[in-house]
Amino acid sequence: MSLKKSRNGSRIYNKKQLCLYCKRGFIKIERHLKHVHHNKAEVARATAFPKGSRERKLHLRKRGNFTHNVEVLNRGTGTLIPCTQPSTTCEPQNYLHCPYYQGLYTKKVLWRFKPNVVKKPGKTCVQSLCAFGVTPPPGVKTEFTKLSAMILDEVYSAAKSDELIIEYGQHFTRHKYIHQTMRELGRLLIHSKKTTPMKTIEQHVKPANFMLVVESVKNLAGFVVETSTHKCPSLALKIRYSLKKTSELVESCANVLGNSRAAKNARAFQNVWNEFVSPALLRTLQESKWDAPQLLPFTKDVQTLHSYLSEQQQRLYNELSAEASPQTWANLAKVTLTRVILFNRRRSGEVKMPLPAYQSTYPSSDQDDLKEALADLCEHFRRLEIKGKRGRKVPVRLTPEMQQSLDMLVSQRQECAVPTENIHLFARPSAVSSYRVSNCLRYFASTCGDTHFNKLRKQTATLSQILNLSNTELDQVAYFLGHDIRVHRQFYRLPEGTLQLAKISKVLVALEQGCLVEFKGKSLDDIDIGPEGTAC
């Protein structure tokens, strides 16, 4: 881009504005448009504003410059036209387009223009808004939104400039975590450029560069030679998986193009890379979990949160019944979503149900085969079936208060600015996405003064041990939580240390006192050991 000062420090008046129609630059762009393109409707609309006004500049100057700048950025060569010429040479990645006025500004000054633009729903970070406003490069479609959701830093620039990372994002764009995976590949690319001859991700999946890739991944994960451990072992495992998928993508593209040599190299890399599971890497992960404390929420804290959510739900329901408001609708949706999760102990992704799934449900019809008490409960609750982990159907029970709030939310969607194309039950007003359960639960938990609400499902499985359930009843609990009974027993029960301390210690005390024969035929729960360690 051109500078506004010469070498001796004097001002240079050579800035040209690009014409939207001629595709050429003019110093007096307003005069050119009035004399040459006066018959254009947009020029006539712009000249209707007072001379020197802000609206006139927006129509006449910035649209042509924006089109030119996008072409230069996509092409990689040319001269950018910023709204303010810099005094010193600047890098193009330090500039972003305003998403509303389309002017090109430096990242450092974008915050000054935020109060002047019309507030839009969604992201509030200025640079993220500007990133979404940029036209994607040729051939980049859906996956560009994943790039736009990233932090605009060196990793973003590296991921954006690598064709294979872009292709990887397009191939796996259906996954919510893909932009984080693209950032991990971008970090690997930056590190490899500094320490190895490799300059692209495609060079990382060549068998000849295998040892260079291994060293680069180890250094990025913080490998310590003295102790043979990694500071961040999970990062190495994630990159290992991503490079495996990348090599498979390269092989597929090579087979389509008939490039047998590239396909052979990709297959050879996969055969070697699949063996890259360092024992030190897995050992570091396992050892980090040995002494990690497992904090479960207290029952009293859960009761406090239930009471708080119930009060908020009733208050917001009354407010929404009296007056339709998008803000009240959003707050009621978040409270109801949190109550459904807290009551059913569901996974966060499972309750992101579509609106038709709720509207097409019907009350349970199997009361005839149940006892009278259970039949009353079936009439009291409403049962939904949603898609769980591994495609399982998992049940969701709704109390009358939840049903009342959900019916209100469904009936007030149009009045509260929820788009018709938003298919989510817990939708965001003026958006096509839904609320995240983790954010809602974290907010309400912190409001109640407790932050340990991230293991509610484990708490349910742990407390169910107190009930001395039979195998059939345990199967029902596991089915309700949406996992296999083996997973329930191995991962969701009381920690192994707690079991050994509470039950196995009884056997050791009885052996020590020589009275184990007295407990013949008894289970561990039937053995009674006194507080002083004496068998009673």
* Domain residue limits, the chain: 1-105, 136-292, 299-454, 495-536
Q: Is the predicted pLDDT of residue 237 greater than 70, yes or no? A: yes
DSSP per-residue letters across 293-307: ------HHHHHHHHH
pLDDT at 331: 93
- CA angle, residues 78, 82, 83, in degrees to nearest 5: 155
Residue 334 confidence class, pLDDT cut points 50, 70, 90: very high
Per-residue pLDDT tens over the stretch 9-50 = 667 777 788 888 888 888 888 888 888 888 888 788 888 888
What predicted TM-score, i.e. pTM, was given to this entire model? Answer: 0.53
Mean pLDDT of the residues in the chain: 73
What is the distance between the alpha carbons of residues 17 and 63, in angstroms, rounded to a whole number?
Answer: 10
The continuous run of DSSP H or E covering 376 comes out as helix 372-380
What is the distance between the alpha carbons of residues 165 and 173, in angstroms, rounded to a whole number?
Answer: 12
Residue from 137, 127, 151, 124 nearest 76 by CA: 137
Q: 441: which 2 tokens?
A: 């639960």
The continuous run of DSSP H or E covering 402 comes out as helix 400-411
The continuous run of DSSP H or E covering 382 comes out as strand 382-387
The single residue listed with the structure tokens 């009885």 is: 510
Beta-carbon contacts of 234 under 8 Å, excluding residues fewer than 6 positions away, are: 285
Cα 142 to chain center, whole Å?
16
Alpha helices by DSSP H, 26-153 = 29-36, 41-47, 54-57, 63-75, 126-132, 143-148
Q: Is the predicted pLDDT of residue 496 greater than 50, yes or no? A: no
Q: Which residue has the higher pLDDT, 472 or 393?
A: 393
3-state class (DSSP) for residue 477? helix
Residue 122 confidence class, pLDDT cut points 50, 70, 90: very low
Residue 125 confidence class, pLDDT cut points 50, 70, 90: low
Q: 16: which 2 tokens?
A: 């040209």
- In one-letter notation, the amino acid at residue 61 is R
CATH of region 299-454: 1.10.443
Listed range (246-255, 305-314, 345-354, 477-486) with the worst mean pLDDT? 477-486
Rg (Cα) of the chain, in Å, rounded?
A: 31
Per-residue pLDDT tens over the stretch 147-196 = 556 666 788 778 877 878 877 777 665 555 677 888 899 999 999 999 99
pLDDT at 105: 79
What is the distance between the alpha carbons of residues 338 and 333, in angstroms, rounded to a whole number?
Answer: 9
The single residue listed with the structure tokens 């561990």 is: 524
Residue 118 confidence class, pLDDT cut points 50, 70, 90: very low
Listed range (61-65, 330-334, 400-404) with the worst mean pLDDT? 61-65
Residue from 142, 224, 156 nearest 185 by CA: 156
Residue 201 confidence class, pLDDT cut points 50, 70, 90: very high
Q: How many CB atoms lie within 10 A of CB 494?
A: 18
pLDDT at 145: 53
